Structure 1
Amino acid sequence: MKAIRVDQFGAPEVMRYVETIDPEVGPGQVRVRLQAIGVNPVDTYWRAGMNPALKLPYTPGLDGAGVVDQVGAGVTTCRVGDRVYLGTALPCTYAELAAVPAARVFALPASCSFEAGAALHVPYATAHRALFHRGQGRAGETVFIHGASGAVGLAATQFARAHGFRVIGSAGSEAGRRLALEQGLHHVVDH
């Protein structure tokens, strides 16, 4: 398969497009033939060397969407041929194939494009964790979302509105403030 590999930390130029072996599928894993990948700020931080636990060489990418290609022993949540999106804890999605734990693979409705599916996990999981797990948010409360026009901010706005929060946010440009209001903020300020 083809994949992007990083053999040294640094700028985007350290990424190489290479031929490599197909990932093997272990028990409890799913292999996905990726049709689209998500690119997140964390990918660039890790490529630059800001994650001391990350070992070289590696294939970047935490988000993707595609079609299940193989399932490992014990997997009952999806089948070969299913449309899915995935979000991994370890980078591996800048490739044609990714083998990941089945718990990190989610059904992708036919009405959702692979490109949209690949953009779901990091922003929406981050927003959900911040609002409901760390923040313990409840309906009727007011929440402030800094950077409300970014991917995580827009996801947080959608979650907050859907759960009955009053939502105030910030954005750094007129276009960002307009987008944040269009997506559901009650009030937006310049940051």
Structure 2
Amino acid sequence: MALTAIIEEHGGPEKFKLTDIEVGAPGKGEVRIAHKAVGLNFIDVYQRSGLYPMTLPHAMGMEAAGVIEAVGEGVTHLKVGDRAAYAANPPGAYTEARVMPAAQVCPLPEGISFEEGAAMMLKGLTVQYLFHRTTPIEKGDTVLFHAAAGGVGLIACQWARSEGITLIGTAGSDEKCQLALDHGAAHCINYRGGDWVRKVRDLTEGKGVKVVMDAVGKDTFDGSLDSLAPLGMMISFGNASGPVPPFNLAVLGQKGSLKLTRPTLFTHIAQHEDCQAMAKHLFDKVLAKDVTIQIGQRFALRDVAKAHEALEGRQTTGSTVLEI
């Protein structure tokens, strides 16, 4: 049996229910993994609230690290006893152990802790596709990254610095801005301090940035478009402030023939080979000390509701993990 956090209806953090679930043997293409640590992400909030509806009841969580306990038929990249980490569908990571598809479960190198593995997979793989699989970004380019002191943001700041990319961050306090700067942002704007779009323009000598990476959504969408240089790319990859309202595509032409995309990580990692290659790139960055994983908060699995309250209330910095 494995203690597991589930929801039976969509709503607030109070909807979590802790229950013991029997963990069976893995079938073809599956593994059973005993978790050591579990990562939290904003997609978990979207699924719990119903913004991303799920068939209920359902276990929650998309990211974890642990030890492989059993391997099903056809799985060749993992064996019993291997350290492993993943970001993957279907949800179900908020548990002590689970059976799941093996394709997106990745061998976790020695030198990376279980907590780091749990805290980095979804966020780090997101940064990998943002910088390498979405639109060409080269050394010397300038990008704008919202929520730069969050779990994805702190990885992005370091990733950009490691590749000679100028990252302008935004955050909600001077303290969070300093954290982003300490992790490699070239500049960070406290968006509560006034016209952040004008400040982006000032930092780019009026030109605007080549790429905006925006997981905030509704509150920053218009300003993000206004921060782009002509022919720039807007990557909208989250909705922390709520979904972007219906949008007139003609505005993209009016603002300088801009490009707009709404990617998801799970499209990028759907193929086993792609997922494993992206994970290796991420692991190499961490092992080379180009990227360190900032774990700002730790909660017990039983306190998952408190963890969601902190995440949703923007009271967190870096990554948040559940300790198993």
1:29-79 Cα offsets, whole Å, 9 max, x none, are 222101110111111221111113x10011000000110011111111111
Q: Which residue of 2 aligns with 1:172?
A: 172
SS in 2 for 1:161: helix
Q: Which residue of 1 aligns with 2:88?
A: 88
1:68-147 matches, within 5 Å, as 68-147=68-147
Report the residue type matching 1:152 in the other structure.
V
8 Å contact 1:23–1:97 — kept in the other structure? Answer: no
8 Å contact 1:88–1:100 — kept in the other structure? Answer: no
8 Å contact 2:25–2:70 — kept in the other structure? Answer: no
Report the residue type matching 2:38 in the other structure.
I
Q: Which residue of 1 aligns with 2:18?
A: 17
8 Å contact 2:26–2:72 — kept in the other structure? Answer: yes
| CA shift in 2, pair 1:23/1:46, >3 Å | farther
TM superposition shift of 1:25: 1.3
TM superposition shift of 1:135: 2.9
Mean Cα displacement is larger for which, 155-164 or 64-73? 155-164
Report the residue type matching 2:153 in the other structure.
G
| CA shift in 2, pair 1:156/1:57, >3 Å | same
Distance in 2 (alpha carbons) for counterparts of 1:101 and 1:173: 40
SS in 2 for 1:9: coil
8 Å contact 1:6–1:14 — kept in the other structure? Answer: yes
Distance in 2 (alpha carbons) for counterparts of 1:49 and 1:187: 35
Q: Which residue of 2 aligns with 1:42?
A: 43
1:74-101 Cα offsets, whole Å, 9 max, x none, are 1111111111111112201111112222
TM superposition shift of 1:23: 4.2
Q: Which residue of 1 aligns with 2:296?
A: none
Q: Which residue of 2 aligns with 1:150?
A: 150
TM superposition shift of 1:185: 1.2
SS in 2 for 1:135: coil
Mean Cα displacement is larger for which, 61-70 or 168-177? 168-177
Report the residue type matching 1:19 in the other structure.
D
Distance in 2 (alpha carbons) for counterparts of 1:31 and 1:3: 15
Distance in 2 (alpha carbons) for counterparts of 1:57 and 1:136: 41
Larger Rg: 2
1:52-67 matches, within 5 Å, as 52=53, 54-67=54-67
Structure 2: unaligned runs, 5 residues or longer: 192-324
SS in 2 for 1:66: strand
Structure 1: unaligned runs, 5 residues or longer: none
Report the residue type matching 2:114 in the other structure.
F
* TM-score normalised to structure 2 length: 0.56
SS in 2 for 1:131: helix
Coordinate RMSD, CA, aligned: 1.5
The size of the alignment, in residue pairs, is 190
Distance in 1 (alpha carbons) for counterparts of 2:136 and 2:25: 39
Distance in 2 (alpha carbons) for counterparts of 1:56 and 1:48: 12
